[in-house]
Structure 1
């Protein structure tokens, strides 16, 4: 946990942590749900605060540490059956689950002995990530940690149009609507990431469209999972489906289902496949 101020353990003084970024990878997201179900456990509330970006101040009488301005990301994996069995209806409606971008994943082929990805390809991807990180560090204002990102006029108009219509569309189910209530802020966060991968501090219309493709896919994923894999009669911008549309992202310029070692590689750069 990133600590805002130093604290003392016995006679040892633990210094403050200034880098408040934390990326948690939980391959068994069921563990998180089981922990949050325990009486008196504050994990659900803490994760909601992380998404909102507010200071974390656990209400404990001893070892009172806290984190200011945390920047936390949690990536989890879970099967639909586990999700439906462990998530309580309260979690579905209180804003806990809808703070996660839920996307359906499936393999497109079966390989008994997957081949390793070429080392040159791995190094090229790593170099590109480093280049993006260097860009974000070098452009910070006056050496500060926060930079204001803006949108072009076309991006603003595109987002406003989506916000007035599809992003606030009634999907005909109180439960599904509650799980997708944060589609608009999710879209903006994704568009920001896509802009940064293009080494620009300005969000353009194509970044909004690329982010909207993911939001639409997440919308399909939620409907598919909550109906147990059966066909869900929900019309979203003229789309009807019995499962998430795996071709949707590809149509938006994403490189979908490229073999990368034993898994799948999803990549995008403002809608351009590379």
Structure 2
């Protein structure tokens, strides 16, 4: 889904009219937007009077979306939106203004550096049995999450074990609030703590449990550390940040970070990688 429009998101949520036909509103407010050209989002947000940046910030905060418009009065209540975008470092640095870096827009995204692990002229197709097995596992996880909301409730309270709470508190007091020596980099990583909790929740759900364990905190922290190195690598060109702040990554981010923390980093899936949360769930 490209060229995101805030009004479109809200029209789908509360209903809209096509000619004489009224399209009813949806009750499931979850939306996953895939923007393969994230530069489109940044370009739209630069236009005068565009509300996309503000709408995406509200999506992160989980508040109702109510744009101040006179001609198209729509709103979305209790939205749950995830945006996955892809962009090159050069495009990101060229399109993002310093205001966007400091006003809380960019730091609402988990920035992860990605690169090819090999060059394949003719990539092999993933075995259909493997694809179906992965799809079945995803469906099983979704069925698990729905099982607690059969009474009509839309949200379920997740809890942490005592060990998970202690581990998170320890990370919060130190690494999650570490001063990285750059106002710009610090501002982009200001939301490391809530990012970690959201990732830990996802990892717990993939393990079919409503309780966050210490291993889920550690798995999420490995991702946060990689994202921290990714931000520094992109903004400094892979030199200064990697040397002064992130010696564990060497001269550039690499996929060995997660495996060095004792987690199963990836399983081969066709020509790409499939991430797993913990070594105990690798097959």
> Normalising TM by the smaller chain, what interval?
over 0.9
Q: Separation in 1 of the partners of 2:140 and 2:279? A: 16
The alpha-carbon deviation at position 268 of structure 1 amounts to: 2.2
Native 8 Å contact 1:102 1:218 kept in 2: yes
The CA deviation at 1:107 is 1.1
In the alignment, what sits opposite 1:201? 210
Aligned partner of 1:11 in structure 2 is 20
1:221 correspondence with 2:230: yes
**Contact 2:13/2:75, CA 8 A, preserved across alignment:** yes
Cα RMSD, aligned residues only: 2.0
Moved more, 34-43 or 1-10: 1-10
In the alignment, the residues of structure 2 paired with residue 24 and residue 122 of structure 1 have an alpha-carbon distance, to the nearest angstrom, of 22
Q: Which residue of 1 aligns with 2:76?
A: 67
Distance 1:273 1:223, change over 3 A: same
Task: Report the secondary structure of 1:124's partner residue.
Answer: helix
Q: Give the Cα separation in 1 of the matches to 2:255 and 2:278.
A: 18
> Does the aligned pair in 2 maintain the 1:154–1:204 contact within 8 Å?
yes
Does the C-alpha gap of structure 1 residues 273 and 235 become closer, same or farther in structure 2, counting only changes over 3 Å? farther
Is this contact kept in 1: 2:265–2:275, CA < 8 A?
yes
Structure 1 residue 237 displacement after superposition: 7.7
Contact 1:232 1:241 (8 Å CA) reproduced: no
Aligned mates of 1:189, 1:226 — CA distance in 2: 25
The aligned length equals 274
TM-score (norm 1): 0.93
Tell me, yes or no, if the aligned pair for 1:150 and 1:201 is still in contact at 8 Å.
yes
Report if the CA contact (8 A) 1:141-1:147 is conserved.
no
Residues 185 and 231 in structure 2, CA contact (< 8 A), matched pair in contact too = yes
Shift of 1:239: 3.5
**Which shifted more, 222-231 or 6-15?**
6-15
Which has a greater percent of helix?
Answer: 2
CA-CA distance at 1:190 after TM superposition = 0.1
Query: Which segments of 5 or more consecutive residues in structure 2 lack a partner in the other structure?
Result: 1-9
Residues 141 and 156 of structure 1: CA distance in aligned 2, closer, same or farther (over 3 Å): farther
How far did residue 16 of structure 1 move? 2.3
For 1:184-263, list aligned pairs within 5 A: 184-232=193-241, 235-236=244-245, 239=248, 241-263=250-272
Cα gap change, 1:212/1:194 in structure 2, threshold over 3 Å: closer, same or farther?
same
Structure 1, residues 127-173: CA drift from partner, whole Å, max 9, x if none? 10000000001122733111000000000000000000000000000
Kindly indicate whether residue 65 of structure 2 is the aligned counterpart of residue 51 of structure 1: no
| Contact kept? 1:2, 1:70, Cα under 8 Å | no
Unpaired segments ≥5 residues, structure 1 = none
Deviations 1:185-228 (A, max 9, x none): 00000000000000000000000000000000000000000012
The C-alpha deviation readout for 1:89-128, integer Å capped at 9, x for no partner, is 0000000000000000111111111101111111111110
Task: Tell me which protein shows more strand as a share of its residues.
Answer: 1
Larger mean CA deviation between 137-146 and 58-67 belongs to 137-146
8 Å CA contact 1:194–1:270 kept in 2: the answer is: no
2:46 aligned with 1:37: yes
- Scaled by the length of structure 2, the TM-score of the pair is 0.90
SS at the partner of 1:4? helix
Paired residue secondary structure (1:123) = helix
| Residues 233/128 of structure 1: CA separation in 2 closer, same or farther (3 Å cut) | closer
| Residues 7, 85 of structure 1: alpha-carbon distance in 2 compared, 3 angstrom cutoff | closer
Q: Distance in 1 between matches of 2:214 and 2:259?
A: 18
